Amino acid sequence: MKRYWLLFSQWVTVLFAVWFVVATLQPEWLRGAQQQAKGMTLLQAPAANHGDRSAGSLSAPAQRASPAVVSINTSKGTGRRPHDQDPWFRFFYGEQEEQNPAGLGSGVIVSPEGHILTNNHVIEDADDIEVVLSDGRKALAKVIGTDPDTDLALLQVPFDKLPAIVLGQLNDLQVGDVVLAIGNPFGVGQTVTSGIVSALGRSQLGINTFENFIQTDAAINPGNSGGALVDVNGHLMGINTAIFSRSGGSMGIGFAIPISTAQQVMQDLLEKGKVVRGWIGVEPQNLSAELAETFQLKPIGNDIKASGVVITGVLQNGPAARAGIRPGDVITQVAKQPVGNVSDLLNEVAKLKPGQPADVMVWRQQAELSLRLTPDERPLPKNRQR
């Protein structure tokens, strides 16, 4: 019996020594053996954990969209001064450095043929526009067209078979949805930030003439302008364009031009080289109780006309003046579409085709009138400091 007990003790000692060596040098062997011993239930656990991690990761949409986001470097040559070639001037004043202001921004590849959407203010007044692709390739871009009213521009680079981004549908986007902002902030290189959609249809911010912004709290900083706002599928939902900031950096309030607007502008620029909009030559203002009293608008029941835009000025010999619209009129409909504020009026008038008559409903001194006007083409905007 004593011999058996001694043999058992020796085996236990040897097995313990082997276990200690394996646990120290190759611990993964023990984990693999434990998983096999516990059967299929534990074998499925790592897959479940991996699924949980993937559900909280945004790497998939970032990887899908990032190759289509480019960096844009702009420069403006001021030319040499007339005295630069004078040897006496150079003797007394030395070599003068040429000023060459540069700017940084981002863009989004929207076609394999090299078309790139960006902001107009990114490339405005630039003499040279250099596009840097995500793979490091560089090229000077050609400007296909610009639209200052929406702050959009369309470029093209001499490459083909480029990784174009998938265009999304704005109707699929809702407040609270997760979005990614991809761009080149401060020139540090391509950067991805995440947030949610804070609001849709933001307007009357004084940023652009035509506004219908997506508001997001995804970090957008200088250099992100023209970059992509994408959803969790990596589809393009907007072009990042502006931020609200007291410091110059992100404060959690950023704005993107929706893809629906960007697509329409891009189509017009490709087909016509410019965006053609209707124009009627009026100065509109949102209707308020004070304005209603100023223009002596009589109430309907116990309230003034609740919906509409009051016209405070009419351009002489303009389309509106020729149609009989007067200061103090309240426009309630354009081409059978209701207008409730200045933004609505601008958008509905812009949809009109120049030269084609359209009906406008006007409220004037307790009477509703139907006037027929023929819009002109909206003139090009003057350069504005952004």
**Catalytic residue set:** 121, 151, 225
Q: Is 319 helix (H, G, I), strand (E, B) or coil?
A: helix
Q: How many CB atoms lie within 10 A of CB 211?
A: 23
C-alpha–C-alpha distance, residues 386 and 379, integer Å: 19
The radius of gyration computed from the CA coordinates of the chain, to the nearest angstrom, equals 32
Instruction: Give bridge partners of residue 177 from the DSSP assignment.
Output: none
Question: Of 320, 266, 265, whose CA–CA distance to 149 is shortest?
Answer: 265
End-to-end CA distance of the chain: 97
Cβ partners under 8 Å of residue 359, min gap 6: 333, 335, 336, 370, 371, 372
C-alpha–C-alpha distance, residues 150 and 300, integer Å: 37
Cβ partners under 8 Å of residue 18, min gap 6: none
What is the dihedral angle through the alpha carbons of 232, 149, 155, 107, rounded to the nearest 10 degrees?
Answer: -30
Query: Where do we find the tokens 């309230």?
Result: 303
